[in-house]
Amino acid sequence: MTDYFKDKVAVVTGAASGIGLGLTEHLLKRGASSVFMGDFNQENLEKEGKRLNDEFPGKAHPLLTDVTKLEQVESLIKKAKDFEGHLDFVFNNAGMGMTLPVEQITFDIWKMIIDLNLWGVIYGTYTAIPIMREQGFGHIVNTASIAGCVPIPYQAVYAATKSAVISMTESLQYELEVEGLQFSVFCPGNVITAIFGDLTPPPDAITVDEAVGYIFQELEKKSLSIIFPQNMRDIDKYYRENRPEFDKVARALAAERRENYRTKGTYF
């Protein structure tokens, strides 16, 4: 473990639950001086902000933020920068899952998911870049998904947002690394969080602590693309190196989801 996060100022969106809350807790445990927690769930945000401030007095800053509103994301990030005069990390993490057959994805659903999972990340990235360029340092970490790396049936809208997040983040790394900026994008498989709603997470799902432990290990190494756990790295490799075999797996998954929906009313 290094002191990569020590005395740093970070912004985390979607910080009131799941992976974002785990990122916030691990940042504080590893010595971050201030973590600005953006989320639009006021109740969870207040509860978790208070709990973290009891453990790390004055270091957690919960700020009600809807990431689909540029001015709210700007306000969150600018407050973080102004607090100590520097902005070290921005985790654009708020997002939601969506597994639906295409005929059920209305135009409003397309818009809602793109506004949250893609525009929310763009707003954070767009706002942080000029601040970090002026400083000459800063690390922007965007949350994608394995669904953005490989095509997963019944996730067309979700995949559209997550693959865009991956390509945008990777493209920016090569453009801005010469100015001292660092970008990372992480692509989880299944992580046990509220994203599953009432459904039981799949048997291969890992805990938030396991997920964040791996993410931080890779951030310390300044990895650009972070795919986890191992079975997802295997699937990604399969997709890139053995497409005919991957196609068989994807078709089998589509058939399984169709059958699950017919018999259980859900895709999992």
Read out DSSP for 215-245? HHHHHHTT-SEEEESHHHHHHHHHHHH-HHH
Contact residue for ligand NAD among 30, 59, 63, 66 (CB under 6 A): 66
Q: How many CB atoms lie within 10 A of CB 175?
A: 12
Where do the DSSP E strands lie in the chain? Answer: 9-13, 34-39, 60-64, 89-92, 138-143, 181-188, 225-228
Q: CA 114 to CA 106: how far, in whole Å?
A: 12
Q: Is 94 in the site for ligand NAD (CB under 6 A)?
A: yes
| Residue 154: active-site member | no
On the CB side of 227, CA atoms within 13 Å amount to 17
Tell me, residue by residue from 196 to 235, as one string, x for binding to ligand NAD by CB under 6 A and - for no binding: ----------------------------------------
Beta strands at 60-64 and 181-188: parallel, antiparallel or unpaired: unpaired
Q: Is 188 in the site for ligand NAD (CB under 6 A)?
A: yes
CB nearer to ligand NAD: give 20 or 153.
20
Q: Is 121 helix (H, G, I), strand (E, B) or coil?
A: helix
Contact residue for ligand NAD among 10, 11, 12, 14 (CB under 6 A): 14
Tell me, residue by residue from 141 to 180, as one string, x for binding to ligand NAD by CB under 6 A and - for no binding: --x-x-----------------------------------
Catalytic residue among 4, 126, 154, 158: 158
Binding site for ligand NAD (CB under 6 A): 13-14, 16-20, 38-41, 44, 65-68, 93-97, 116, 143, 145, 188, 190-191, 193-195
Q: Catalytic site residues? A: 158
